[in-house]
């Protein structure tokens, strides 16, 4: 355990004027209060507050925050009171300790509606003093570093909570290093096999290519010295979870993933940043569409840097970040840079943002949101987002999250513009509304009088503001339709457990779900805001808990009209768990497409055929055919092992066809029958980890 003298030395390193007596007194008080308490690992409990304080010294934070870290569990877990802490250490520290205690008591792992309420409380606590959440983040980081001492089921709960809430919150605050470590620690708990697979592949790559980082940093230093630019160059491999996320986003195997190395150039001046960019682009080939200038267009948390991706040695892509030392300090500390000390005084960093303004900007758009679930969704969307910058025809800049579409752009300008949107032009060319916008593009929204939001827009929009506005408009315009659909869904769900959806039963469900009245309950059910399973469970929990029947393929899709049949589109073969769109066909049938299916563009001018449908929640049987394209080594027993792996993942092979035979490899198409998209991802991960599998991907026409 770090001693009081060692901790004080850590603080003195950046703040020689620290009040050593107060730090020593807080250390002694915390140690006395936690005397006799132990962690799950068997260590004295006080080792935890000390470790949290040590983490915060890395951010060069003020004495009040360090003392709060030492005392953050005293009011909750010991006989110490708020009044005693205030008397000994002042009102500021007592308020911070009390704030951390209240955050700790929020059950952020609870059901979604309650989670949304707690998220709102979390933002309220942050708005009073952001240092509260800095201590809580450090507390969570140390707990995740030592999570192996907890029971497996508790580990999973804490890891999911970390992945969903604390990691993206750290990222949104600009503390990217903490976000990456929290994500990777949670990934280690939630998917240890996937993480080990990434590490094994990475070790193999290093063995084959040697020390790429050392070679590229050496090349960069040489080029910069030749150009007379004084700069530091650092390189590193990206974290396993970061690599895993890129594999999922790009739907690529590890062998096809290129930018797994990151390099950072720290310059003396802003002018040197742009000079460095020129040197790097002259020496290496820049990758189109992979350039971002966050110096001229900084992020809301103060982050400034130039990002570019270039093709390095052997054609390998590497990402390069270029920034000054002051920009780097903000990039490391994020919003916490506001409290950073250097040489005993608060750092006057011109790039550090005012925490009060930052939190106000983050919460302002959610304050008027009445629906708790939509509030939570909007918060998570905004926290996970990266940003792109697009221009209006007049040249005004509009900030949007990465992956935003013209629909998001329209709603960012004004809700009225979004509602009336019928099309868009990007850089003067007409594009579909689901087009992903990129940095620097000029976007013109085409509107028409009488246009109203379409259900399909919910699959296209990515921002919380747009999705909230679309949902509200759809509820107002289609409330009667949603009520009728909700009645049908409720009738079907209750019949499934041999009960009737009587007025009394629905009134009971409305009270249990705190919805208001039956009409509102049915409207939300029809709009897929709540599920039929939730409604039945509210009235008959013992039946839904015990009921484990698989969902019949005939009723796997909800949102169809009575008597309508459906079939999965062969072009995209959608699986339960994926977002889907229904396209009405001739007769009474409906063809179900994945929301990202390329064929949907054929129906863009026929909006009357589009239907808002969803997969039924619950367990589906493994009857949904999906095609995998595999490239495997041509060795004895390889195909047998592949078939065995597929069988072990509870997937059935319905057909197998060789499409290419070479002396060293086979390429084949394998039709497998699966339950849902999660089983597909698990199967692909297992096959990718097999050394004789060169490539595996889902095949779509």
pLDDT on residue 368: 47
List where CATH 3.30.460.10 sits in the chain. Answer: 194-346
Contacts of 9 (CB under 8 A, 6+ apart): none
Instruction: Check if the beta carbon of residue 304 is closer than 8 Å to that of residue 325.
Output: no
Question: Regarding the domain with residue range 385-462, which homologous superfamily does it belong to in the CATH classification?
Answer: Beta-grasp domain (3.10.20.30)
pLDDT the model gives residue 618: 72
Residue 172, number of CB atoms within 10 A of its CB: 21
CATH number (3.30.460.10, 3.40.50.2000, 2.70.98.10, 3.40.50.300) of 194-346 reads 3.30.460.10
What's the CA gap between 124 and 199, in Å, rounded?
Answer: 40
Q: Is the confidence at residue 588, as pLDDT, over 70?
A: no
Residues 6+ apart with CB under 8 A from 570: 701
With a pLDDT cut of 90, the percent of the chain lying above it is 20
Tell me if residue 76 is catalytic.
yes
Mean of all residue pLDDT scores within the chain: 81
Question: Which regions of the chain carry the CATH code 3.10.20.30?
Answer: 385-462
**Which residue in the list 25, 77, 84, 507 is annotated as catalytic?**
77
pLDDT of residue 22: 93
pLDDT (tens digit per residue) in 511-539:
888 887 888 888 888 766 787 778 888 88
Fold of 4-190: Hypothetical protein af1432 (1.10.3210)
pTM: 0.53
Q: Work out the pLDDT band at 383, boundaries 50, 70, 90.
A: low
d(CA 541, CA 535) in angstroms, rounded, equals: 10
Is 332 tagged catalytic?
A: no
Question: One of 43, 76, 629, 690 is an active-site residue; which one?
Answer: 76
**Are 556 and 676 spatial neighbours (Cβ–Cβ below 8 Å)?**
no
SS in 3 state form for 111-147?
CHHHHHHHHHHHHHHHHHCCHHHHHHHHHHHHHHHCH
Span 393-413, average pLDDT = 85
Amino acid 545: pLDDT:
46
Rg of the Cα trace of the chain? 28
Residues of the chain with CATH 1.10.3210.10: 4-190
Residue 255 scores a pLDDT above 80: no
Architecture of domain 624-698: 2-Layer Sandwich (3.30)
Averaged over 402-415, what is the pLDDT? Answer: 90
Domain with CATH 3.30.70.260 in the chain: 624-698
Q: What is the rounded CA–CA span in Å between residue 30 and residue 39?
A: 15
Residue 165: DSSP 8-state: I
pLDDT at 119: 59
pLDDT value at residue 410: 93
The answer on pLDDT for 257 being more than 80 is no
Per residue in 455-475, pLDDT tens?
A: 788 888 888 788 888 888 876
């Amino acid at each position: 355990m770090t001693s009081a003298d060692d901790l004080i030395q850590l603080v003195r390193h950046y703040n020689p004027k620290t009040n050593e007596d107060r730090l020593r007194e807080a250390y002694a008080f915390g140690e006395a209060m936690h005397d006799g308490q132990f962690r799950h690992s068997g260590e004295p409990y006080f080792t935890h507050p000390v470790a949290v304080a040590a983490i915060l010294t890395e951010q060069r934070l003020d004495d009040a925050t360090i003392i709060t870290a030492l005392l953050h569990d005293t009011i909750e877990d010991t006989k110490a009171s708020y009044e005693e802490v205030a008397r000994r250490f002042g009102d500021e520290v007592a308020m911070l300790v009390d704030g951390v205690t209240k955050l700790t008591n929020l059950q952020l792992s609870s059901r979604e509606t309650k989670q949304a309420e707690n998220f709102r409380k979390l933002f309220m606590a942050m708005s009073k003093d952001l240092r509260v959440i800095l201590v809580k983040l450090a507390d969570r980081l140390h707990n995740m570093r030592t999570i192996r001492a907890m029971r497996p089921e508790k580990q999973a709960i804490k890891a999911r909570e970390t992945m969903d809430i604390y990691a993206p919150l750290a990222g949104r605050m600009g503390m990217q290093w903490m976000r990456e470590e929290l994500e990777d620690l949670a990934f280690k708990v939630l998917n240890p096999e996937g993480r080990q697979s990434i590490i094994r592949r990475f070790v193999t790559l290093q063995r084959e290519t040697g020390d790429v980082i050392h070679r590229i940093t050496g090349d960069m230093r040489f080029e910069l010295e030749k150009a007379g630019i004084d700069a530091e160059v650092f390189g590193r491999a990206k974290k396993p979870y970061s690599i895993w996320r890129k594999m999922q986003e790009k739907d690529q195997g590890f062998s096809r993933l290129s930018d797994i190395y990151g390099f950072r150039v720290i310059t003396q001046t802003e002018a040197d940043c742009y000079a460095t960019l020129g040197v790097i682009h002259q020496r290496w080939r820049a990758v189109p569409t992979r350039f971002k200038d966050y110096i001229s267009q900084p992020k809301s948390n103060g982050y400034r840097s130039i990002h570019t991706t270039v093709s390095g040695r052997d054609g390998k892509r590497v990402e390069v970040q270029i920034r000054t030392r002051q920009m780097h300090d903000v990039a490391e500390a994020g919003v916490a840079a506001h409290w950073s000390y250097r040489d005993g005084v608060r750092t006057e960093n011109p790039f550090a943002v005012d925490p009060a303004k930052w939190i106000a900007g983050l919460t302002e758009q959610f304050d008027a949101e009445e629906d708790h679930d939509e509030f939570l969704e909007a918060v998570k969307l905004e926290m996970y987002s990266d940003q792109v910058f697009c221009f209006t025809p007049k040249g005004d800049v509009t900030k949007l999250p990465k992956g935003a579409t013209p629909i998001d752009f329209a709603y960012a300008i004004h809700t009225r513009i979004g509602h009336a949107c019928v099309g868009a032009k990007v850089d003067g060319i007409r594009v579909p509304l689901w087009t992903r916008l990129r940095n620097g593009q000029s976007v013109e929204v085409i509107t028409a009088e009488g246009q109203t939001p379409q259900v399909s827009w919910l699959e296209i929009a990515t921002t919380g503001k747009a999705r909230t506005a679309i949902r509200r408009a759809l509820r107002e315009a289609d409330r009667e339709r949603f009520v009728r659909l909700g009645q049908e869904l409720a009738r079907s769900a209750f019949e499934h457990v041999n009960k009737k959806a009587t007025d009394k039963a629905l009134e009971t469900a409305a009270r249990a779900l705190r919805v208001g009245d039956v009409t509102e309950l049915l409207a939300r059910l029809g709009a897929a805001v709540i599920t039929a399973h939730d409604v039945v469970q509210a009235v008959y929990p013992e039946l839904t808990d015990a009921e484990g029947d698989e969902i019949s393929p005939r009723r796997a899709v909800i949102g169809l009209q009575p008597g309508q049949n459906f079939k999965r589109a062969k072009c995209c073969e959608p699986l339960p768990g994926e977002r889907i769109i229904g396209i009405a066909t001739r007769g009474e049938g409906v063809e179900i497409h994945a929301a990202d299916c390329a064929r949907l563009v054929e129906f863009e001018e026929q909006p009357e055929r589009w239907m808002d449908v969803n997969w039924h929640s619950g367990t589906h049987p493994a009857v949904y055919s999906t095609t995998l394209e595999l490239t495997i080594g041509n060795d004895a027993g390889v195909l047998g092992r592949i078939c065995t792996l597929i069988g072990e993942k509870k997937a059935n092979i319905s057909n197998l066809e060789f499409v290419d035979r070479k002396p060293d490899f086979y390429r084949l198409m394998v039709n497998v029958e699966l339950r849902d998209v999660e089983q597909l991802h698990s199967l692909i991960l297992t096959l990718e980890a097999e050394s004789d599998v060169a490539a595996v991907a889902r095949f779509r026409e």
